[in-house]
Amino acid sequence: MSSWLDNAIFYQIYPQSFMDSNGDGIGDIEGIISKIDYIKDLGCNAIWLNPCFVSPFTDAGYDVADYRRAAPRYGTNEDLKKLFRELHKRDMHILLDLVPGHTSVEHKWFKESMKPEKNEYTHRYVWTDSIWESPEGMNCIRGISQRDGCCGVNFFSTQPALNYGFYEKTRPWQMSPDDPEPTATLNAMIDVMRFWLGLGCDGFRVDMAGSLVKNDKEGKGTIALWQKVRAFLDEEFPDAAMVSEWGEPDKSLEGGFQMDFLLHFGTSHYNDLFRCEHPFFGREGKGNVGKFADTYKYNLEKSGGNGLMCIPSGNHDMDRLSRKFDVSELKICFAFLLTMPGAPFIYYGDEIGMKYLDNLTSVEGGYGRTGSRSPMQWSGGVNAGFSSASGETLYIPIDPDPCRPTVENSMADEASLYNEIKRLIRIRQEHTALQSKGKIEFVYAEENKYPLAYIRSDEREKILIVINPSSQSCTFSFKGKAEEVLYRNGELSHSGDEYTAAGQSAVLVKIK
């Protein structure tokens, strides 16, 4: 099953903002193709592509109007097939972003479901049977057609929720996940997956994967649903990968996903590391890694010790890392991100330290997220090399800072964040213990203390990683003999079993 995930390092592309090949101010598929070699040279061997399907773009493409057709502003299905081929030529893979929980109000399924006359799509969405009753626990849209009832929405009011059934039924209009209508919804989504896998994509990053079956507090109905999808994949596309936006690895892995994201919401304490008032990776040294480590170990045990939990540098929904950290701190962040189990995900531009842009007008439902979605900064040329369009027609404005980081100046600077990440990726790929399935043992991860130390291991070797983001040196005890330093950013010394990590340091050491 998807053995290519064992050493995968993902690069997330937000297509609107990556590279514009035709000068219309919006990134496109040909633009992505033109930069594949850049991604490969960085060391990434896989891509997660944000939604690229036909959409009215009220939520940047997470409101799909046609699951089987590329949005014209990006190109065509043939362009996507070319992208798949070009990646495969370079032994690279790609996950498309699947949005199974809802569609756009402009999707033909929804337009048919609004009709008062019963038809194939009447129950494709979560509808109550009265205009006066909202679905419990959900926002809704109502009064938009002659059909009596309210339709539940998953997020924005333009995103009606697809009907996969209710695990616990409390109202007459609710259906079981095994009823014919929810089953038809699932089969329709499987057909979408079959379509794109048949054209050459390698799998899917699944949006809101844990939300499909409603009234499902323990996730049992949703787990059973994804197990059916996994059975389909195992039979027809055994190498296809599924990575879930779920945030509960024990559930997602049981459901048949190979990997699960740690999210910026939920219980993982991911935000304790990078995005809180006093993040652990800040040089001030006031952070707390203890709850993160405890939760990580708990989830690891619940999920059978597979370690397939992905920790992203960020994504289109989060503030960029650089909003909290400078380049020195970012280097320490990536020493952690690129030495943890599961596949790392690097959000486009994070490798050069692109900034979060404050006070931007919302674009396509971005609101506060818009500042993390600005165009990729390739060079010192017009529009930072992203597009030949006039500035006012760009999808989102370019960072106006004349000292903004670019790929061009980052590649030329041996001490840049970009080149540090390249070194870390190379080391990860040279040592299987550091890759997706290598085991992890936390050596020192105490409440409100520094440093963080852990061992990654497999049958070949053991590697001690010691990370001290704080500006002050700190000590910990460890019984183990150091053999070879694999990576050094700062100093790690020891006297007997007492190890001292210099301030703002990250060191990787082979041990016996």
- Cβ neighbors of 39 (< 8 A, separation 6 or more) are 11, 47, 92
Binned at pLDDT 50, 70 and 90, residue 465 comes out as very high
What are the tens digits of pLDDT across the range 357-372?
Answer: 999 999 999 999 999 9
Instruction: Specify the residue for token string 């960020």.
Output: 314
Q: What is the rounded distance in angstroms from the CA atom of residue 188 to the CA atom of residue 182?
A: 10
- Cβ neighbors of 179 (< 8 A, separation 6 or more) are 165
- Cα dihedral sign, 411-414-417-422: positive
Q: Per CATH, is 102-163 categorized as 3.40.190.10?
A: no
- Cβ neighbors of 436 (< 8 A, separation 6 or more) are 5, 6, 7, 8, 259, 307, 308, 341, 342, 343
Q: What is the rounded distance in angstroms from the CA atom of residue 53 to the CA atom of residue 44?
A: 24
Binned at pLDDT 50, 70 and 90, residue 307 comes out as low
395-402: long-range contacts (C-beta < 8 A, 24 or more apart)? 395/16, 395/17, 395/25, 395/26, 395/27, 395/363, 396/16, 396/17, 396/357, 396/360, 396/363, 396/366, 396/370, 397/357, 397/360, 398/374, 399/354, 399/355, 399/357, 399/374, 401/355
Window from 2-6, 19-23, 348-352, 447-451 with minimum mean pLDDT: 2-6
Collapsing DSSP to helix, strand or coil, 51 comes out as: coil
What are the tens digits of pLDDT across the range 183-232?
Answer: 999 999 999 999 999 999 999 999 999 999 999 999 999 999 999 999 99
Collapsing DSSP to helix, strand or coil, 55 comes out as: coil
At residue 236's C-alpha, the angle toward residues 235 and 237, to 5°, is: 110
Q: What is the rounded distance in angstroms from the CA atom of residue 280 to the CA atom of residue 469?
A: 7
Strand partners, 53: 70
Global pTM exceeds 0.85: yes
Kindly report the number of other CB atoms within 10 A of residue 295's CB atom.
Answer: 17
Contact 342, 259 (CB under 8 A): yes
Instruction: Specify the residue for token string 């080391």.
Output: 427
Write the CATH number of the domain with boundaries 439-511.
2.60.40.1180
CATH fold group of domain 3-100+182-428: TIM Barrel (3.20.20)
Could you give phi then psi for residue 208, rounded to 5 degrees?
Answer: 45, 45
What are the tens digits of pLDDT across the range 218-246?
Answer: 999 999 999 999 999 999 999 999 999 99
What are the tens digits of pLDDT across the range 77-101?
Answer: 999 999 999 999 999 999 999 999 9
Characterise 316 by phi-psi region: left (phi > 0), alpha (psi -120 to 50), beta (else).
alpha
Q: Where are the alpha helices (DSSP H) in 311-406?
A: 327-337
Break the chain into its structural domains and give their ranges.
Answer: 3-100+182-428, 102-163, 439-511
Could you give phi then psi for residue 68, rounded to 5 degrees?
Answer: -110, 10
Contact 377, 352 (CB under 8 A): yes
